[in-house]
Amino acid sequence: MNAVEELLVAFRDYLLSRSDPTLGHFIQGFAWSMAERSLAPHDLPVAAYLRKPRRLGNGAERVLFDKLADAADMLHWAQTYSITDFGSDFLQRYGWVELFGARGHFASEEMAGGFLLLGPEVHYPDHHHTAEEIYIPQTDGSLWSKDAQPFLPRWSGEIIHHPSNIRHAMRTEDEPLVALYLWRGGSLAQKSIISGRMQ
């Protein structure tokens, strides 16, 4: 198995080890055996945060984080936004990888999943999309807002559910954010709509 295949196995095993009912419903019946695409590695500045040692404890999130770090150089890191959306600072500290989905390293039209990275001191403004989404931060202390409510700190392993079209935003302070995401329903490749702005 190559490092990307090992990451998919770790991703699946991590989710199946969790007993949260919302997550269980979200992934119920998903076919984890997917065809691998030959996707060229694509590096981004934000991926550098995976190469620095982190204080992540010894839990299940640590196991998954290590597999992500091992595969980081083989992954196709991407960005949805351009410089006109949130500026160049944001693009230096933002990126994601689709491990599986309509475009990812493994092919699925049913559900997409991967990781979002944000560097320190980033504000990812309010946005929404048709797809329903689950985020599980793998790092501590990022701040999350849902449905225009105040930002709240979230911790490694917390399950954050965004129903279809609900507004949400994230912020980081001193520490970067690494978050697992799952996305299903709606277009698996839709660009998020930035709240309050015409696209």
Binding site for Fe ion (CB under 5 A): 133
Contact 95, 77 (CB under 8 A): yes
Task: Considering the complex, state which of residue 34 and residue 116 has its C-beta at the smaller distance from Fe ion.
Answer: 116
Query: What is the closest distance, in whole angstroms, from the C-beta atom of residue 128 to Fe ion in the complex?
Result: 7
Q: Which is nearer to Fe ion, 82 or 130 (CB)?
A: 130
Q: Compute the distance between CA of residue 69 and CA of residue 47 in angstroms, rounded to an integer.
A: 9
Contact 78, 101 (CB under 8 A): no
- Determine contact, residues 80/138, Cβ cutoff 8 Å: no
**Closest to Fe ion by CB, 17 or 165:** 165
Question: Strand 177-184 relative to strand 111-118: parallel, antiparallel, unpaired?
Answer: antiparallel
Taking the complex as a whole, how short is the minimal distance between the CB of residue 68 and Fe ion, in angstroms? 19
The smaller minimum CB distance to Fe ion, of residues 133 and 140, is found at 133
Q: How far is the CB of 183 from Fe ion (least distance, A)?
A: 8
Rg (C-alpha) for the chain, rounded Å, is 16
Query: In angstroms, what is the minimal distance from the CB of 3 to Fe ion?
Result: 27
Closest to Fe ion by CB, 126 or 133: 133
Beta carbon of residue 70, minimum distance to Fe ion (angstroms, whole number): 26
* Of 185, 162, 150, 152, the residue nearest 116 (C-alpha): 162
What gap in Å lies between CA 7 and CA 65, rounded to an integer? 9
Q: How many CA atoms lie within 13 A of 144 on its CB side?
A: 22
- CB closer to Fe ion out of 98 and 133: 133
- Taking alpha carbons only, the member of 16, 6, 23 closest to residue 136 is 23
- Closest approach of Fe ion to the CB of residue 192, in Å: 6
